[in-house]
Amino acid sequence: MDAKHKVIKVAVEKHYAAIKDANEWLTELRKRCGHPIIEIVGYEWAPGHVDPNVKVCGVCGEKIHDPLQNIHIQDSDQSI
C-alpha cells in the first residue's frame, strides 16, 4: 500500500471509531432521557420508505414503540 492510501486508511478507521463512539453516546443519552416530549413525524426507516405517523421523542429523537414508555418519572437533577 502506498503512502497516500495508508493515510486514507488511517483516517477512515479514525472516523469509523468516532461514529462508534457517537452511537454509544447517543444510546446512553437516550437511556437517560425519559422522553418527556412526544412528536408525531414522518419517519424514513429506509431510503424511500416513510411511515407517516411515527412517535419520536422531541428531545433525543428516540422512536417510541410503546405509548406507556412516555410515563417515566423525570429526574431533573441528573445532568449529562
Site residues for Zn ion per CB under 5 A: 33, 35, 57, 59-60, 62
Nearer to Zn ion, 20 or 31 (CB): 31
Task: Tell me how far, at minimum, the Cβ of 23 lies from Zn ion, in Å.
Answer: 16
Distance CA 46, CA 76 (A): 35
Task: Tell me how far, at minimum, the Cβ of 63 lies from Zn ion, in Å.
Answer: 10
CB 2 within 8 A of CB 19: no
How big is the chain by its Cα radius of gyration, in Å? 18
Nearer to Zn ion, 35 or 55 (CB): 35
- Residue holding cell 424511500? 48
